[in-house]
Structure 1
Amino acid sequence: MIPLVRPAAARSLAPASSRRSLSVIQSLLHGSPEAREHETLQHSRLVGRGKYVHGFDIHRVKPDKTEEYKAAAEKYYLGVKNDPALGTKLTGNWEVVVGEQDTFIHILEFDGYEKIRDLHVTSRVGCIFLFAFLPTAPPHAEGGIFELRSYQLKPGTLLEWENTWRKGIEARRKFVAPVGAWFSQVGRLHQVHHLWQYPSLEVRKELREQAWQIDGWAETVSKTSQLTKFMDAFVLRPLPFSPLQ
């Protein structure tokens, strides 16, 4: 009788060359960790704006401490902005008014990764890169509200998402220009964020409805939704010291 060999045992008895071949096949089919990391880096180079590295801070504050937090945040972030040794620019600072209450969001721009490591006082949620096709709007004071939309993508779909969204965004530009768009590089990966500004919630509703009437936008939403695991949307109010108002 021929003895039965369990699959694990069979692999251990196989010649070294066969095991190497099996490893190569598995990497091709499923992607090795090294291959997946390489793919992420390659996609970042293709869709990102090179040296532009942003820090993305999200702070959830006790409801009875929000005013105290705002005063401390202003002192801290303006101190970071005004310290030439840190090489840091302040992109914007907001409070969530519709969505998760008592939450504050801050976006900073760093002169490379080394500057991020220098800034270790606050907890950093993640590192984000700008999409190459959409630079962040310069500081301004247009008034109204901001909307941050965040998407958790399926791993390996960043390039496809960027390509699809970049083509469809022209339909939205007819009504409102995005303030900025980023993708995650450190922290929770495979995330995409984009920021919009509207005069009011009512105008936001009207402009979004009009965008659906433009050829290309419905197709963009349909295709990108297939690449997304889940999403969040927050309506934000800029803090008094935010460069974006």
Structure 2
Amino acid sequence: MLTRRLLPTHRLAAPSTFLRTLTTTQAFQNAQSRSPSLADITPDGAASFDAKLQNFRAKVAAAQRQRGQQASASLDKDPSKRKGAFSSLIYGTKEGQQMDKEIELSFSQVLARGKYVHSIVFHEVKPDKVDEYVELVGNWYPRMAGMEENKVNLVGSWRTEVGDCDTFVHIWEYQRYTGYHSSLHNISQHPDFPAFDKKLKTLITAKKTSLMQEFSFWPTTSPRSLGGLFELRSYTLHPGNLLEWETHWRRGLKARREVMEGVGAWFVQIGELNTVHHLWQFADLEERKLRRERSWSVEGWGDTVHKTVPLIQTMRSRILIPMPWSPVQ
């Protein structure tokens, strides 16, 4: 029941806010009890989605450049950190190194893999209790995520519209496993938790939780509001194939990202083992279809599919709609 890197959406204009920080209450003040649905999406929203996406990516790039400039300034102040001419010949020019660094920051924050633990929670809600569930969770989750002492961030909350209908999906972020334990303990000690937990149990038929880590080459997005819908693709791999999967997807993501917008990718460490979750965002179902088809024209994608399909036991696709309080919209 806990969460992730969440910056209020109104702060995204400042490049520095693209660093992961704890959630603030501002991002969750407008939670509503009405459950959204596919019917809220119109077929003419692709242009608006693309414009918001380009704006979001521009801000991310600006934040990366700012960090690069700060790193360069630090080197200028401390000559002992500079490498010699021979090193430049071997490892490339300063400009080339900076370009490589920006590419790496875009797709592969290596240290992120061990810095955060994510949980993915599935609630199967009774069909006649959906509105009550939305009201209950829509008030409780933002409240818990907004309390700094809980040290937990909500990545997002969604309702399944195609797939396991009336199943709600929540992804939370913690500071390693110590943060996970700390968050669970703090929230369980809240005076209102027993009432929340008791009520929740009357609204759902099942609850499933797995603990995951994000792939090092695909850090989870910061909060944003692009609109549209999401697709959660879940893969059960043959045991022992996770490293090979990561190797191929590290190359394939660059091709996919040219035509599709990823939200995050995680592999389960505790729970449904050998499971990988990829989360994508699209303007609508037609755009999803077109962009997936367009992927095949991008060099490298066909090879990724050819090499990853044999690694898969089962796969599942869910179409999700974000909840009003979800930081990623």
TM over 0.5: yes
RMSD: 1.7
C-alpha distance in 2 between matches for 1:156 and 1:55: 22
TM-score between the two structures when normalised by the length of structure 2 = 0.58
Structure with the bigger percentage of helix: 2
Structure with the bigger percentage of strand: 1
Among 159, 164, 167, the alignment partner of 1:95 is 159
Aligned to 1:240, the other structure's residue is in SS state coil
Asked if residue 52 in structure 1 is aligned to residue 136 in structure 2, the reply is no
Identity of aligned residues (%): 46
Provide the residue aligned with 1:208 in structure 2.
Answer: 292
- Contact between 2:261 and 2:282, CA under 8 Å: does it hold in 1? no
Provide the residue aligned with 2:263 in structure 1.
Answer: 179
Provide the residue aligned with 1:227 in structure 2.
Answer: 311
Letter in 2 for 1:157: N
Aligned to 1:115, the other structure's residue is in SS state helix
**1:115 Cα offset (Å):** 3.0
Letter in 2 for 1:239: M
Provide the residue aligned with 2:80 in structure 1.
Answer: none
C-alpha distance in 1 between matches for 2:213 and 2:279: 14
**1:86 Cα offset (Å):** 1.5
Query: Runs of 5+ in structure 1 lacking a partner?
Result: 1-45
Query: Runs of 5+ in structure 2 lacking a partner?
Result: 1-109, 189-196, 198-206
- Contact between 1:51 and 1:112, CA under 8 Å: does it hold in 2? yes
C-alpha distance in 2 between matches for 1:239 and 1:55: 18
TM-score between the two structures when normalised by the length of structure 1 = 0.78
Asked if residue 158 in structure 1 is aligned to residue 242 in structure 2, the reply is yes
Among 119, 127, 145, the alignment partner of 2:184 is 119
- Contact between 1:47 and 1:159, CA under 8 Å: does it hold in 2? no
Letter in 1 for 2:311: L
**1:130 Cα offset (Å):** 0.8
Letter in 2 for 1:93: S
Aligned to 1:224, the other structure's residue is in SS state helix
Provide the residue aligned with 1:72 in structure 2.
Answer: 136
Letter in 2 for 1:201: L
**1:116 Cα offset (Å):** 2.2
Residues paired across the two proteins, number: 200
Aligned to 1:95, the other structure's residue is in SS state strand
Matches within 5 A, 1:76-87: 76-87=140-151
Compared CA separation, residues 191 and 169, structure 1 to 2 (3 A): same
Aligned to 1:137, the other structure's residue is in SS state coil
Runs of 4+ residues deviating >2 angstroms: 114-118, 120-124
**1:196 Cα offset (Å):** 0.6
C-alpha distance in 2 between matches for 1:188 and 1:133: 22
**1:47 Cα offset (Å):** 9.2
Letter in 2 for 1:175: V
Asked if residue 135 in structure 1 is aligned to residue 219 in structure 2, the reply is yes
C-alpha offsets along residues 181-237 of structure 1, whole Å, 9 cap, x if unaligned? 110011111111111111110000000011112222122112111011001111100
Among 56, 63, 69, the alignment partner of 2:127 is 63
C-alpha offsets along residues 68-96 of structure 1, whole Å, 9 cap, x if unaligned? 11111112211220122220011000000
Letter in 2 for 1:67: D
